[in-house]
Structure 1
Amino acid sequence: MREDTYIDEQSAYEFITWYFKKDETELTKKEFEGCLWFYDNKNKEYVLRKKYTGQYAIPVELFDKWQNHLKSKIIEPPLGVIPKWLHDEHRVKDLKAAINRYLDNNREVSAEWIDEYNLLVKSIRDRKSKV
């Protein structure tokens, strides 16, 4: 027995449009007892059928292929940059950890690190006080 996935009319239209185009498949549209069927002549299978409830049924395997096709068309926007305030907070933590590691090993801490740390702490404190 075949397992089906049920979809609405708009999704059925989108699915059948995709199915027609995917392999230039020749489909036969039939009506049996008031229900609509699409039959793939090449693969000898029903690919879409309208049920009495108004829902449309697609074999699970075809539904999965269609969903994978839709996912492959999604274009994600290019990755931007981390917001400055978040970068500064991460940088403060990194500087603090590096300074502490140097102090724990009795090493000389770069004056540039301390200056940058102090500037970032002041900037973060000022930004938080404005909010």
Structure 2
Amino acid sequence: MIKKTIKKTHVHAGDIVRVISGNHRGAEGKVLRVIREKNQVLVEGVRMIKKHLRRSQELPKGDIIEKEGPLPISNVKLVEKAAAAASASANKGTKPSKTSKKPKAPKAEKSEKIAKPKKAASSKQEE
């Protein structure tokens, strides 16, 4: 079954969110990344998974690292917006002052409309 991707998400990177359902219910953290294609988010410190790295020249013994796993975006609730996003939305509805407005260019004069000839009635109606 193909899932529909959410066009507009309620959380963005940098927001503080709370997990509202699932095994990690009640946990809070900062959104690291929003994966829109899969309707998922990565929340800092929530759903930590272990990834095993195989041996290589850089890691001769291999390694086990912990990183955040994705959560469904529907399982998180916005607690606090990111500072940059909050300030941008606060200025959204403000109007510019009258002194800062650029003068409008005069509109071009409209030419007179030329009347189009009416279409002749079809021959079937005349019969």
Using the size of structure 2 for normalisation, the TM-score is 0.21
Is the strand fraction higher in 1 or 2?
2
Using the size of structure 1 for normalisation, the TM-score is 0.20
Bigger relative contact order (CA 8 A; separation at least 6): 2
